Amino acid sequence: MLFNSIDFAFFFPLVFFLYWAVAKKLTLRNALILIASYVFYGMWDWRFLFLIIISSGVDYFVGKQLAATERKSKRIWLLMTSLTVNLGFLLYFKYANFFIESFVDSFRLFGSEIEASTLHIILPVGISFYTFQTLSYTIDIFRRKIKPTHDALSFFAFVAFFPQLVAGPIERASHLLPQFHKTYKFNYTQVKSGLLLMAFGLFKKMVIADRAAIYVNEVYGNAGDYDGVAYSIATVLFAFQIYCDFSGYSDIAIGAARTMGFSLMKNFNSPYFAISLTEFWHRWHISLSTWFRDYVYIPLGGSKQGNLRTYSNLFIVFVISGLWHGAAWTFVIWGALHGAGLIIEKLLKDPRLDFMSKLGIRTPTFSNNLFFGSITFIFVCLAWIFFRASSFENALAMLAGIFNNFKFSSLFSEATYNIGFTPAVFRALVIMIVLLLLAEIYHSKRSLFRRLNEQGLIMRWSFYFIIVFVLIIFGVYSDEGAQEFIYFQF
């Protein structure tokens, strides 16, 4: 079930009404959330509900057993059980064909051919997200950071919570699970805030992301038909497409949870205003970045064992992160590029090497921030090419076009902006992106929601009608090529 679908337009108000008007007691509310979550997920393919149920059951049992024993060998065995089940599902459904194809290709490099057919496997939606969420529960119990819950209903509801089930934010049990042990009272201000955040997320998704996708899909789908200007524009538009698509999903998820009294973690913080790659990853997909930091980077040694180990740990984490995003070498390259970029950035900032002083950069200034912000954005966009391209060859063709076939005259050609839609629609899309960036700048200084609440009744309702109007007039719907959320494929 998509957030931007007619199904959800009926589903969510019904769940909202039952939650507040009928399910007054905690047990009944958690049961309603669990049933609603399974219905929400089962709308894709009911068979994959068994994976969530098995994963939840195994980790609930393992969590209780970990707390009940002090014997180290048994605790390790229990943790390995959780890791084997959860990662086993993930590896089979997401990576089995990737490993088979890579195995066959490795023999071709040495001039040998082997026969091996890929498997007919359907990727369960959101498996990467809920697998990481439930794994963090058992790992944190193993580390004695949290205690297990003895309420099976609340735990199963925590794992399957429908707002963030299929694309995050990837919540920690220490933050979200205790919220299923509380009974919330209806709060009009909180509900209104959640609904506005959902509307803002739909604006990002339907008005910007899906509109940009029309241009991006055409250019990336026909890499040999356009020049470097079109490739550059498509790449920049993809940067905003994936940002608005994923942060839009997160906004809707956080807003929907908020209307029911739950608080989910912030997943994005204006990432394209970052002035370094390090800052970019502090702002982009925060729930995943912190998950890899806590459960991969730090266990590998983090930054506590010398520079060489720090750099290798960084690189390993980002290669794994790339593979997490998709079972293809293009995603691995994307992750490796970010890992290498972060290493170079750390070397440049190393006070012992004094590169920054040699470049004449000692204190942050507006011009310095603008320069490094631009460099960061360009690097991120170029790396996105490997993320978006259908193949390594397609990515190289895009890069070759940008650097070898960039015709400045095309910048002033109407044909460049007449790809997938009219130049007038292109200009409207650019205006929407600029408005989004201005809103993020303002929000960084003062909450837009608080500012809106300070306005009079007429001003507030005028704003609400404008949002609805923009969604109706400029939003992309199924007959125009509305897209699934990009991160559903991960």
Q: Which residue ranges make up each domain of the chain?
A: 6-183, 190-350+378-489
Residue 256 in contact with residue 163, Cβ under 8 Å?
A: yes
CA 191 – CA 260 distance, rounded (Å): 7
Contact yes or no for 212/244 (Cβ under 8 A):
yes
What distance in Å separates the CA atoms of residue 96 and residue 124, rounded to the nearest whole number?
Answer: 13
With a cut of 70, which residues of the chain have pLDDT below it? Answer: 99-121, 350-367, 478-482, 490
Write out pLDDT tens, residues 383-397.
999 999 988 989 999
Note the pLDDT tens digit of each residue in 313-353. Answer: 999 999 999 999 988 899 999 999 999 999 998 888 766 65
End-to-end C-alpha distance for the chain, whole angstroms:
16
For this structure, is 120 an active site residue?
A: no
Among residues 150, 325, 338, 443, the one annotated as catalytic is 325
Cis peptide before 169 (omega within 30 of 0): yes
Q: How far apart are CA 455 and CA 462, in angstroms?
A: 11
